[in-house]
Amino acid sequence: MELAERRGAKVPLMVGHRLIAMSAMHTGDIAGSRSHFDRTVALYDSAEHRALAPRFGQDIRVAALSFRGLALWLLGYPELALADAERIITDAEEINHGPTSMYALHRSATINIQCGDYAAAEAQVEELVALATQKGAGFWKQVGLTK
């Protein structure tokens, strides 16, 4: 990441911070993961980076916000986690990329379940199953059916 920082290369920096954030989260450094997710989100420029969603499978900001929401919930900030859950749905709608939308619905529903908003989670799961059925995305349909 040092080289990317020296060169001001935003995409490698975003990816690097997201990877470090995921590693930190999975090794128990939740506060550290939040910091790296924050950096990922701060580096994101929708005009420049939304076109990368097909390359990564989903939009990087949506992915970072979805796991930052988990980190926020684990750190005791359910209101902030729910705000990230709403933001990823809004972002996914704006992007209009099927895989990002299905990913966002799944991750937002997960955050809503963790925060106790079961009605919102149920609505998102139903929307996920309907979208996955429409797109012929068996994996995401199954994810929705097992929530």
Mean pLDDT, to the nearest integer, of 4-20? 82
In this model, does residue 10 exceed pLDDT 90?
no
Name residues whose C-beta falls within 8 Å of residue 147's C-beta, 6 or more positions apart in sequence: 106, 109, 113, 121, 125, 128
pLDDT of residue 36: 97
pLDDT of residue 6: 64
Nearest to 130 by CA among 104, 102, 99: 102
In this model, does residue 49 exceed pLDDT 90?
no
Structure-block tokens of residue 131? 């979208």
pTM for this prediction: 0.89
**Domains contained in the chain, CATH given:** 2-145 (1.25.40.10)
Distance CA 124, CA 40 (A): 25
In contact, 41 and 61? CB cutoff 8 Å: yes
In the structure, what pLDDT confidence band is assigned to residue 38 with cuts at 50, 70 and 90? very high
